[in-house]
Structure 1
């Protein structure tokens, strides 16, 4: 249910903008509001789980997600639609945290490999592969509003599957401390400002625009206030348990989850945009492009989970193998061309998917397995927060990088397109002759030939820029791996490990 809400804007943005008669600035709040609410509530959801118990939190979160989905499908005005998206984000955060917390409390550590592999099929595979495919099909053939009705229809299935086993679910109510509304308020303001800057900065050329600068300053100030209150407050109240960062495995895994989220959501953003804008695929085909990758991610999760559970393997062993596969897959995708079809991209997508399956399961188990029971809910919320924030930073970086590379590549290619250039003259003459032979007026044929050359340049610029963006994810790991190793070695030599 959460996956459907999180990815609809990528596929159905033009349709949403058209139906609400909204400008690009106005419609961007459909995505911004959802992410702001989700990031603000992920760390705080642990307090709700501890205060009201897993069972109540689970069913209320699911009910709120369903109600918000119905509201989104029925709204005819953009403002209440955005308000419903805020509710979706907040409730979705609670749903993610309570579901994974229950799994860690239901099953022993020895079974968590396979358990978390199955869980990750929903939280990793669905939002990056399966959901876009379904959304593309519904948007292409019917209406984007059916996506929300589909989400609402999942609620009865959940009830049918879970209610008979309600008595077996853990229901721990350990939190009696008051909620720190002031600290949470500052944190929510910080997340709202940071998300706005990251996702809108590229459109406004970052700090050249006063609005982006103002939001950045507000976000930095609010985050500093929330952090200082969390660290220095003498009160034991809070909106999440800060002691979870004293666990060395969690601290290491939180850092790696940020890098993995950057690669996962960054590549999941690039692939359909490349298919839609460069290869000119329809939305349904662009969504289906990620299906082979989703099967590979699922295979990687289940293979790693099965081996870790059956052979009691250390999850850390799968991290370098997963990174190597992701790097190889992105390197393969960086060789795409204008003539590439879905079948040309599948090999790179399959390798990428298998690597992501290994990497994400290993990072999940390293981060969350073996924690004290009192820390599990906070750790789950913060772990998902790190992955989500890494994804937003990844999308922001890649959007800006694409814009810069498009401008640079166009400037380089167009330097050789001058009236005095012999290859340009030959190409222009050949195209003009071909258009004239097809009955076009010679004067118009010259203009048409120039337009065709211009379109060809734009297409070449686009494919070059996307290839460079794919390759930038290879370089991400080239830079990140030494940092990860340095972090782990620092833990070992300072004695901050166990």
Structure 2
């Protein structure tokens, strides 16, 4: 008899893996100045450390679902954990920038496989009616890891070495690998189909070029030849991908999933919510440090309550969803979050820090309700056979949404700064950008108001279709 049931195993493995991946995404920025100094390189050159990671992640995202379906979700998930952990160790041992860049690319590939396959395992294990309850633990990697990342990075960089921001992944990764190897069940889809080569040849470079353009546009300028070429190229490839994938029987990116009203609506809401949240988290710290002249530590202490709000929301969301239903809960949460963003745009030199902490706490609290409910409802009607492709599609559009939000905020700052004498964004520019982030949430709200609870009921009969078939376990 096994010491753990499969639901416990999946919860532990998923939360631990996502925590490690989410924290890694937020630790590198704090350490970049030290890396630049140690390797005697320029900031623009060192920025490739992040670019390679993001592009590699974007390339691997589209194939994650098919690989898990074809070769087994346990096998691919553990391979991804192994790649991520080994690359983390190599990043810590890197003795020059080229090696660090190479190992970050490998790390990004592991991260690109990790999230979609992990979500597929999770939603195949828990039927729709049980998913609201597990959201109470699933928020940990989303809320806590990004908030703790900069703090841990600062401590390691100052007291030990920047290399420890990578070494910390090693024990976590090894424990997940061993635990998953011993107790995680395998799942293989017999109807995975052949590998969609045309879809891969369009989606991989299309995603890579698009993410590169959106992430580097704010740094190099969107009129820069390489950014402009990447953006146009990515857009052309992704447009071609839409036409090609609609003709393929078993596509890599299954756009036919948008035929399900709940999946389509929730995906759109998620995209704009991600754009708004990431846009706000990009603009507000910049404003607090650059325009109001506060330290990085002060900024971290101001923004940390947003994570606490997300955590509290995760505990209350299942009850709220049951009482209000998806439409009313998501709509009210998005409206209130947009209001918090608008109030944050009034921040000035005389603003009370505790009042700002309260606003950020409430922003996290309301967005936690919205994001948590959206993630639960998105997959309510998705069958077990389609779950791998559904989580892949969801993560692809979420990644684009996050990058799009930051890019638009950067454009707003750039446009507004043209009126400043020193060409640096002033307080008005930051305030306008925060209102832009609120605009993303209001756009998501428009789609939330059009949804119907009947299309997105987490207690629908689809629960029987979503539960793993007995014959699918290997």
TM category, shorter: 0.7 to 0.9
Residues 357 and 2 of structure 1: is their aligned pair in 2 closer, same or farther, counting only changes over 3 Å? same
Of residues 309, 312, 326, the one that matches 1:299 is: 312
Of residues 212, 215, 231, the one that matches 2:230 is: 215
Deviations 1:109-129 (A, max 9, x none): 21110213422321x214542
Are 2:401 and 1:390 aligned? Answer: yes
Equivalences for residues 103-252 of structure 1 within 5 A? 103-122=122-141, 124-159=142-177, 162=180, 165-166=183-184, 169-207=185-223, 209-233=224-248, 236-252=249-265
Check conservation: 2:273, 2:440, Cα contact below 8 A. Answer: no
Deviations 1:327-381 (A, max 9, x none): 1221221122234464342011111010110010111122112311111121112
Distance in 2, matches of 1:9 and 1:101, equals: 28
Equivalences for residues 79-478 of structure 1 within 5 A? 79-122=98-141, 124-159=142-177, 162=180, 165-166=183-184, 169-207=185-223, 209-233=224-248, 236-308=249-321, 311=322, 314-340=325-351, 342-408=353-419, 410-411=420-421, 462-478=426-442
2:45 paired residue number? 26
Check conservation: 1:41, 1:94, Cα contact below 8 A. Answer: yes
Q: Extract structure 1 runs of 4+ deviating beyond 6 A.
A: none
Residues 15 and 404 of structure 1: is their aligned pair in 2 closer, same or farther, counting only changes over 3 Å? farther
Check conservation: 2:345, 2:432, Cα contact below 8 A. Answer: yes
Q: Radius of gyration: which is bigger?
A: 1
Residues 81 and 87 of structure 1: is their aligned pair in 2 closer, same or farther, counting only changes over 3 Å? same
Could you tell me which runs of 5 or more consecutive residues in structure 2 were left unpaired when the two chains were aligned. Answer: 1-19, 457-461, 463-474
Are 2:79 and 1:60 aligned? Answer: yes
* TM-score, length of structure 2 as denominator length: 0.84
Check conservation: 1:139, 1:283, Cα contact below 8 A. Answer: no
Shift of 1:7: 1.9
Distance in 1, matches of 2:167 and 2:296, equals: 19
Distance in 2, matches of 1:342 and 1:329, equals: 15
Residues 178 and 185 of structure 1: is their aligned pair in 2 closer, same or farther, counting only changes over 3 Å? same
Distance in 1, matches of 2:35 and 2:352, equals: 28
* TM-score, length of structure 1 as denominator length: 0.80
Alpha-carbon RMSD = 2.8
Residues 404 and 19 of structure 1: is their aligned pair in 2 closer, same or farther, counting only changes over 3 Å? farther
Check conservation: 2:25, 2:146, Cα contact below 8 A. Answer: no
Paired residue total? 437
Shift of 1:391: 0.9
Larger mean Cα displacement after TM superposition, 467-476 or 376-385: 467-476
